[in-house]
């Protein structure tokens, strides 16, 4: 019983203690606001402990500024609201705020701070609309920073976001505390505040407590000023009015004058195919006055009338067009159309003939198929064909000025050639889909056949010369066709000349008919070119035959006097087909002067013809004999012509003229010079020498051919090239060309022609651009050499490589338009164009060569270039005086005019400095603070219709 009573008494005592505790208020527990301060303090201490370098490692985000500003952030909750606190810092701590020529954060510019903390609610506006809430937030951050012994300034955005209003506070480590406040007047700015005099008095009123007129007082005020000018832009109304005025004065035709209005790139090489916006819409000029002292408002009034040419520094910044500096915006140019052509290459394997793609659209009832395969109307097609075939000036496709030295590494066609122009037109025909290309190609081949059937010269193609095997096969075929057409025209011309002269002997008529397939060389023109072409053709006669170039010093054509006498002496032999005498060479048996014969041009062959002969030679058991047999027609023609020109010649004479390396001279073995050899040969006859081993061996094919070859001049011989047969073969190739074969050659040619077109751009001495273009050709040559094997391999990586090449091409094309624009803007100061382009090139370098531009696409180019004193006049001339039509519309409210243009933005920083001391943190810091500090600072940013003021005041609390 006793234990029961004791337990009851203990329970009663515990109940009484609980009641007493319930009525007790424990003031040691933190409130929600104190916990909010504690959370902020923990984050701030962590940031202070990490330092800038560790914060970068932990993922600090770089700002889109040029002064290396980074930020980290942390989120908090207080009173059912979420807040975000951001710490802005720089990795370098030099104790100085960045200059005005750099791009600064708005708070750095407004209050002159370097690193700072900003806290704002996580809401749609991102500002604090309630004043008590803003004060409470600022107090919480200030207490937390004070507990951390941090000197970071803290800011809170307030009011409407458009006002860019802030309040802030900073513990300066002394008995002083700096408070910040900024706000903006968006309209109805007082007239007085639009002038420097009124702004000066506004700043003085913040610390000068006097009832007297402030304009009569003198205060030593430090200030600096930055004026921003924008090169004038002319709208359509200005151009129309100016054109009308000029027409009225000159009495001209309004319609004709309107047509003269041109685009900025009308004289650029790409303007024939497309036009693009000028990447540089204008320039911003920054004129800066720094560290000026004024003691009265009158001095400010005088400064307002000063010329910007008196400013201490000038900085220039290009203003790009709206979409130029945005990487993910697709622009129309060669690169975009080349991407469409690559897509057409992928689809080319879907049909066997080009006509199949045309019929597929005609037979398709789907609207989607017809809309995706846009085919221009016949009028557009006629205009393209007219440009290709009828509106052609004298063209020299192989002497194009725009051809880069690396262009020949790409197996395409020269820029001015017919096929290259076809490919460039195809890029813009419709939307460059396979169906539109098929329509254009079919009509293109029809026009080519018309030229052939009507014996009309093939435009944009040379009708002579050798076929360039480094070009694509279609270009080789068109070159062959042009030569065949020219041979046909020569035949028709000579036959008509013969028919008009009835008194011409029959033998002469026959000679003219036979001469239609060769190019005779007159004696007066010299024999060097004929001998050179002859030796070139003989390089294919056998593996041991060496190419020999004719030496004009030792084998010269005889003068007309010598030739005449020689012809008279050998008249009994009926010498025919001679191009002239070789006075230093004599026939071995008759000791007569040797004559060089007129020979036929070697037959032209395209790449596929060479490959066909090579395959036939490989299939033969005796490749050497077969190779000689393939060239037998040429050799027979040369031997026959030589016999006709030299009736008493023997095989050894032909070898001495045709292949000198196969004639071994005894004089060279005993060390006698060639000059003395020639002189000795006249006295010692016959000259000492012999055939080479391969020519003297038994059963030599050359000697056999010599014995069988008749003495027949070139005009009487069967032509080596049959233009009718070869021309029809070319047309058959073009008409039966498979789609993938056409598109493979089109892709290579289009890349080469587009690059050659851009290479014609005039951009001055921009070395980086020149290097980049050279790199583009090297980059193109590697993937494009595999394109023509795409149909055989079906490798999808080839298409992906070419697509990446399109991206790289677009980068270079973009830089080239900028280089052209800068060059024409700074013709009088090329160094400025080079400096600005170099800065942009370094900025853009990281984007080139990759298809992905994520992360960098939002970064803008903001670097400014300092203008030297000797360049200021050139920059000032870009600000042309406004016309009368422009002047009446503008009310000039600010001074400092530059050629009649007021600044678009004026920024001024006023400051008043005092000396302070007494640090309450450390005794050793007192010496550091024995210096001037800005006790008052006011930043003013204004335009012609708004005003923003930011004030910082250091006070003793």
In whole angstroms, what separates CA 935 from the centre of its chain?
A: 53
Identify whether the C-beta of residue 187 lies closer than 8 Å to the C-beta of residue 173: no
Q: What is the pLDDT of residue 445?
A: 97
Dihedral, CA of residue 47, residue 50, residue 51 and residue 56, to nearest 10: -90
Residues 907/940, Cβ–Cβ less than 8 Å:
yes
Print the SS3 string covering 634-686.
Answer: HHHHHHHHHHHHCCCCCHHHHHHHHCHHHEEEHHHHCCCCHHHHHHHHHHCCC
Residue 668 pLDDT: 53
Contacts of 775 (CB under 8 A, 6+ apart): none
- Average pLDDT, integer, range 427-453: 95
Q: What is the mean pLDDT of residues 264-293?
A: 92
Report which of residues 313 and 926 the model is more confident about. Answer: 313
Helix (H) or strand (E) holding 874: helix 872-877
- List the end-to-end C-alpha distance of the chain, in Å, as a whole number: 72
Q: Give Cα separations from 440 to 345, 358, 385, 413, 449 (angstroms).
A: 15, 10, 9, 18, 14
Residues in the chain: 957
575 band by pLDDT with thresholds 50, 70 and 90: confident
CA distance 217 to 194: 21
What is this structure's pTM? 0.77
DSSP single-letter state for residue 324: T
Q: Mean pLDDT, the chain, as a whole number?
A: 79
Pairing of strands 154-158, 116-121: parallel
Q: Both tokens of residue 453?
A: 């059937």
Query: Which residues are CB-contacts of 512 (< 8 A; sequence separation ≥ 6)?
Result: 494, 495, 497, 498
CA distances from 494 to 165, 282, 452, 872 (A): 92, 64, 19, 69
**Beta bridge mates, 486:** none
Q: Which residues contact 281 (CB under 8 A, 6 or more apart)?
A: 233, 319, 320, 321
Cβ–Cβ < 8 Å for 752, 412: yes
- What token pair was written down for 915? 């000396």
Q: What is the CA radius of gyration of the chain?
A: 44
**Rounded mean pLDDT of 184-198?**
87
Q: What pLDDT is recorded for position 246?
A: 43
Residue from 666, 667, 643 nearest 654 by CA: 643
Q: Residue 96 class from Cβ within 10 Å (0-12 exposed, 13-18 middle, 19+ buried)? A: exposed
Q: Which two tokens stand for residue 28?
A: 């040691």
768: Cα separation from own chain's centroid: 11
Closest by Cα among 358, 360, 357 to 348: 357
Asked whether 472 and 745 are in contact (CB, 8 A), the reply is yes
- Per-residue pLDDT tens over the stretch 145-166: 999 999 999 999 998 888 899 9
Q: What are phi and psi of 470, to 5 degrees?
A: -80, -10
The predicted model gives 483-500 an average pLDDT of: 74
Say which residue the tokens 């030679």 belong to. Answer: 617
Question: How many other β-carbons are positioned within 10 Å of the β-carbon of residue 389?
Answer: 19
Contacts of 817 (CB under 8 A, 6+ apart): 265, 276, 279
Q: Is 73 helix (H, G, I), strand (E, B) or coil?
A: strand
pLDDT at position 5: 53
Query: 662-681, pLDDT tens digit by residue?
Result: 888 765 554 544 444 444 44
Q: How much of the chain, in percent, has pLDDT values that exceed 70? A: 72
Find out whether 173 and 928 touch, Cβ atoms under 8 Å.
no
What backbone torsions phi and psi does residue 62 show, to the nearest 5 degrees? -75, 140
Residue with tokens 């990446």: 804
Picking from 858, 697, 841, 649, the residue whose alpha carbon sits closest to that of residue 763 is 841
Model confidence at 749: pLDDT above 70: yes
User: Which DSSP category does 456 fall into?
Assistant: P
Residue 530 has pLDDT above 70, yes or no: no
Q: Are strands 69-78 and 81-90 parallel, antiparallel or unpaired?
A: antiparallel
Rounded Cα distance between 77 and 125, Å, is 17
Q: Is the pLDDT of residue 38 over 90?
A: yes
Q: Is 91 left (phi over 0), alpha (psi -120 to 50) or beta?
A: alpha
Are 427 and 334 spatial neighbours (Cβ–Cβ below 8 Å)? yes
Whole-number Cα distances in Å, 410 to 419, 682, 812: 15, 54, 18
Angle between the 473-499 and 418-428 helix axes, to the nearest 10 degrees? 130
Mean pLDDT (whole number) for 566-576: 55
Q: Which residue has the tokens 């040797």?
A: 594
Does pLDDT of 409 surpass 90? yes
Q: Residues 267-279: what's their mean pLDDT?
A: 93
Tokens matching residue 531: 């001998």
CA dist 316 and 230 (Å) reads 10
Residue pLDDT, tens place only, 777-819: 999 999 999 897 776 666 778 999 999 999 999 999 999 999 9
- Name residue, tokens 């913040």: 206
- DSSP H helical ranges for 500-541: 506-514, 528-537
CA distances from 5 to 17, 19, 569, 646 (A): 19, 22, 167, 157
Question: What are the tokens at 355?
Answer: 């006509």
Cα of 555 vs its chain's centroid, Å: 52
Cα distances (angstroms) measured from residue 706 to each of 385, 633, 651, 693, 698:
51, 12, 7, 17, 14
């Amino acid at each position: 019983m006793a234990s029961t009573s004791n337990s009851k008494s203990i329970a009663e005592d515990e109940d009484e203690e609980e009641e007493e505790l319930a009525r007790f208020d424990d003031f040691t527990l933190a409130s929600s606001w104190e916990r909010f301060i504690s959370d902020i303090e923990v984050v701030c201490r962590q940031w202070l402990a990490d330092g800038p370098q560790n914060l970068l490692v932990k993922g600090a985000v770089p700002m889109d500024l040029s002064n290396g500003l980074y930020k980290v952030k942390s989120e908090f909750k207080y009173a059912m609201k979420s807040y975000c606190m951001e710490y802005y810092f720089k990795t370098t701590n030099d104790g100085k705020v960045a200059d005005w020529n750099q791009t600064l954060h708005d708070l750095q510019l407004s209050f002159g701070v370097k690193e700072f903390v900003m806290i704002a609610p996580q809401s749609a506006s991102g500002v604090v609309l309630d004043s008590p809430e803003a004060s409470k937030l600022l107090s919480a951050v200030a207490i937390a920073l004070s507990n951390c012994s941090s000197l970071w300034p803290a800011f809170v955005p307030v009011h409407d976001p458009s006002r860019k209003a802030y309040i802030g506070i900073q513990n300066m480590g002394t008995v002083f505390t700096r408070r910040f406040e900024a706000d903006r007047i968006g309209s109805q700015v007082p007239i007085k505040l639009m002038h420097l005099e009124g702004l000066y008095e506004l700043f003085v009123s913040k610390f000068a407590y006097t009832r007297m007129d402030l304009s009569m007082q003198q205060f030593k005020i430090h200030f600096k000023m930055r004026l921003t000018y924008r090169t004038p832009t002319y709208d359509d109304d200005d151009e129309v009015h100016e054109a009308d005025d000029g027409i009225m004065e000159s009495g001209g035709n309004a319609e004709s004058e309107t047509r003269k209005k041109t685009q900025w790139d009308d004289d650029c090489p790409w303007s024939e195919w497309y036009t693009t916006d000028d990447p540089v819409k204008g320039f911003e000029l920054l004129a800066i006055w720094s560290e000026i002292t004024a003691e009265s408002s009158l001095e400010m009034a005088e400064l307002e009338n000063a010329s910007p040419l008196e400013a201490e520094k000038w900085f220039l910044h290009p203003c790009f067009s709206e979409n130029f500096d945005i990487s993910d915006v697709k622009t129309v140019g060669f690169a975009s159309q080349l991407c469409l052509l690559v897509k057409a290459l992928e689809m080319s394997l879907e049909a066997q003939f080009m006509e199949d793609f045309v019929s597929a659209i005609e037979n398709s009832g789907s609207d989607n198929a017809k809309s995706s395969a846009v085919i221009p109307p016949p009028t557009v097609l006629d205009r393209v064909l007219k440009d290709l075939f009828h509106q052609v000036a004298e063209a020299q496709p192989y002497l194009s000025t725009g051809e880069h030295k690396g262009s020949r590494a790409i197996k395409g066609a020269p820029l001015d050639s017919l096929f290259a122009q076809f490919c460039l037109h195809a890029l813009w025909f419709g939307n460059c889909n396979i169906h539109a290309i098929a329509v254009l190609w079919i009509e293109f081949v029809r026009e080519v056949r018309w030229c052939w059937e009507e014996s009309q010269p093939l435009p944009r193609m040379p009708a002579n010369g050798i076929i360039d095997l480094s070009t694509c096969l279609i270009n080789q075929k068109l070159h062959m066709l042009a030569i065949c057409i020219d041979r046909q025209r020569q035949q028709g011309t000579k036959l008509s000349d013969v028919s008009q002269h009835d008194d011409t002997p029959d033998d002469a008529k026959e000679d003219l008919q036979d001469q239609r397939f060769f190019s005779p060389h007159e004696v007066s023109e010299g024999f060097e070119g004929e001998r050179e072409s002859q030796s070139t053709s003989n390089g294919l006669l056998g593996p041991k035959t060496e190419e020999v170039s004719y030496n004009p010093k030792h084998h010269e054509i005889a003068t007309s006097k010598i030739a005449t006498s020689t012809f008279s002496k050998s008249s009994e032999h009926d010498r025919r087909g001679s191009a002239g005498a070789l006075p230093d060479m004599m026939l071995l048996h008759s000791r007569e002067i040797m004559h060089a014969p007129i020979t036929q041009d070697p037959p032209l062959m395209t790449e596929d013809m060479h490959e066909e002969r090579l395959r036939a030679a490989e299939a033969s058991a005796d490749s050497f004999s077969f190779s000689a047999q393939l060239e037998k027609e040429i050799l027979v023609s040369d031997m026959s012509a030589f016999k006709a020109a030299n009736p008493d010649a023997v095989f050894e004479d032909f070898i001495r003229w045709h292949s000198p390396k196969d004639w071994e001279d005894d004089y060279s073995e005993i060390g006698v010079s060639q000059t003395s050899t020639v002189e000795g040969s006249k006295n010692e006859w016959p000259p000492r020498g012999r055939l080479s081993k391969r020519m003297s061996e038994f059963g030599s094919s050359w000697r056999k051919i010599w014995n069988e070859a008749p003495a027949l001049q070139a005009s009487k011989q069967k032509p080596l090239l049959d233009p009718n047969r070869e021309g029809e073969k070319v047309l058959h190739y073009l008409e039966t060309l498979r789609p993938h074969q056409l598109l493979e050659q089109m892709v290579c040619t289009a890349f080469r022609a587009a690059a050659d077109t851009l290479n014609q751009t005039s951009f001055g001495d921009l070395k980086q651009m020149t290097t980049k273009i050279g790199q583009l050709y090297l980059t193109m040559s590697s993937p494009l050499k595999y394109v023509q094997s795409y149909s055989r391999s079906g490798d999808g990586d080839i298409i992906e490589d070419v697509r990446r090449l399109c991206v790289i091409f677009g980068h270079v094309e973009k830089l080239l338009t900028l280089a052209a624009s800068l060059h024409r803007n700074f013709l009088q100061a090329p160094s400025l164009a080079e400096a600005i382009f170099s800065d942009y090139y370094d900025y853009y370098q990281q984007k080139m060569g990759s298809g992905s531009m994520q992360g960098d696409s939002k970064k803008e180019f903001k670097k400014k270039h300092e203008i030297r004193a000797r360049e200021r006049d050139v920059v000032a001339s870009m600000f042309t005086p406004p016309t009368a039509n422009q002047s009446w519309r503008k009310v000039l409210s600010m001074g400092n005019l530059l050629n009649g243009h007021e600044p678009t933005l004026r920024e001024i920083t006023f400051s008043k400095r005092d000396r302070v001391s007494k640090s309450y943190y450390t005794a050793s810091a007192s010496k550091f603070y024995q210096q001037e500090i800005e006790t008052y600072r006011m930043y003013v940013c204004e335009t012609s219709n708004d005003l923003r003021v930011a004030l910082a005041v250091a006070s003793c609390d």
